[in-house]
Structure 1
Amino acid sequence: MKKIALVAALAAFSVPAVAAPGDTDNATGTATAEIVAPISITHDAGASLSFGTLTAGNGGTIAVSPAGTAGTPTGEVRLLAGSTVSADGFSVSGEDGRSYSITVGGGTVTSGTNNMSFTTSASKASGSLTGGSDTFSVGGTLTVGANQAVGSYSGSYTATVTYN
């Protein structure tokens, strides 16, 4: 009887333990997400990129800095005395402390079937939303054609802000 019990006990120790086959395993990962306030841009009420009142002559350019001051006209373009020039203005809002980049495009101003093109430049290439808000201004350079037709010209351009 002792032999049978001993053989049974030895047999119990020699049976291999049941284990996974070793070609698969898994673990649990984690995932997170954070939602922030959307970035928003608004055009400042009453603001406008104004190149002033000009004479064309044989053409040239007139520049307005993002600070709102007129540069020296080129070619035969002349800015009339007492003419008002101004930079445009925008306000940005979004998640406090986030940084963002600014892109501004050029455009065309028209009067009837006549037009002139302009380029733009922002007062900065990027900003930070301190307290959730920030501002920037836009200047530009207008190209005036030779003997440009008389008229009041207007147009638009796009300013885009993007979180960094």
Structure 2
Amino acid sequence: MKKIILATIGILATATPAFAGSGNQSTATGTATATIVAPIVLTHPASASLNFGRFTTGTGGSVTVTAAGVGSVGSDVTFVPGSTNSADQFTVAGDASRSFSITTTGGNVTSGATNLAFTTSASASSASLSTTGTASFTVGGTLTVTGTAPAGAYTGSYTATVTYN
């Protein structure tokens, strides 16, 4: 019995205590980054406009101006001599080389109580800013002309929007 007790004491004295090992926890440092880009800014020059030109209505029809500024008429609408058409123009500034999308709405031109509706079409649905962070685009449209629209100067507006992709 004495030998068993001495053997047990010997084993206990040489045994390694069961402490928490180094594999139970580990710590490392992570990194964080952030990039702030220049806001996208759309500008419309005061001298630019979508100009449908000068025309007679006849029984009605349409006037179309392409995004390149070329005008044409449909149905019984006729341009008068000396009429000029132009596409509207916009400039964009923002984060260099970033792509963006372009959307435009339709609108109405009004003279007195008469409204004529038009749709618009941008020269592209998307584009990219240059390496200096600039771009431009044009907008054309189609005006629906009623045969009952009275003579006069018509004005209106529409919205163009650019959004980073």
Q: Shared fold by TM > 0.5?
A: yes
> How far 1:17 moved relative to its partner?
3.0
Relative to structure 1, the CA distance from residue 110 to residue 25 in structure 2 (aligned partners, 3 Å threshold; closer, same or farther) is farther
Q: Which residue of 2 aligns with 1:9?
A: 13
Tell me which residue corresponds to 1:139.
140
Aligned residues: 157
Partner residue in 2 for 1:83: 83
Identity of aligned residues (%): 52
Aligned-pair CA distance for 1:7: 3.8
TM-score scaled by length of structure 1: 0.86
TM-score (norm 2): 0.86
| CA shift for structure 1 position 16 | 2.9
SS in structure 1 opposite 2:127? strand
Cα drift, residue 29 of structure 1: 5.1
The residue type paired with residue 76 of structure 1 is D
* Partner in structure 2 of residue 38 of structure 1: 39
Residue of structure 2 equivalent to 1:18: 20
Distance 1:108 1:5 in 2: 101
Change (3 A) 1:155 1:17: same
Query: Secondary structure of 2:75's match?
Result: coil
* Deviation readout 1:32-57 (Å, 9 max, x if unpaired): 22100000000023011000111111
- Equivalent residue letter for 1:111: S
* Residues 13-44 of structure 1, C-alpha deviations (whole Å, 9 max, x = no match): 3x433369x8x998765432210000000002
How many Å separate the matches in 1 of 2:21 and 2:57? 90
Render the CA deviation track for 1:113-140: whole Å, top value 9, x for unaligned.
Answer: 1010000111111111111101101110
TM superposition shift of 1:100: 0.6
Match of 1:65 in 2: 66
1:132, 1:5 → 2: CA distance?
Answer: 81
How far apart, CA to CA, are the structure 1 residues paired with 2:27 and 2:59? 77
Q: For residue 135 of structure 2, what is the amino acid of its counterpart?
A: D
Letter in 1 for 2:78: R
Contiguous gaps of at least 5 residues in structure 1: none
Q: Residue 99 of structure 1 corresponds to which residue in structure 2?
A: 99
Computing the radius of gyration over CA atoms, which structure comes out larger, 1 or 2? Answer: 2
User: Equivalences for 1:116-155 in 2 at 5 Å?
Assistant: 116-130=116-130, 131-155=132-156
CA distance in 2, matches of 1:28, 1:113: 69
Q: CA RMSD in A?
A: 2.3
CA shift for structure 1 position 150: 1.6
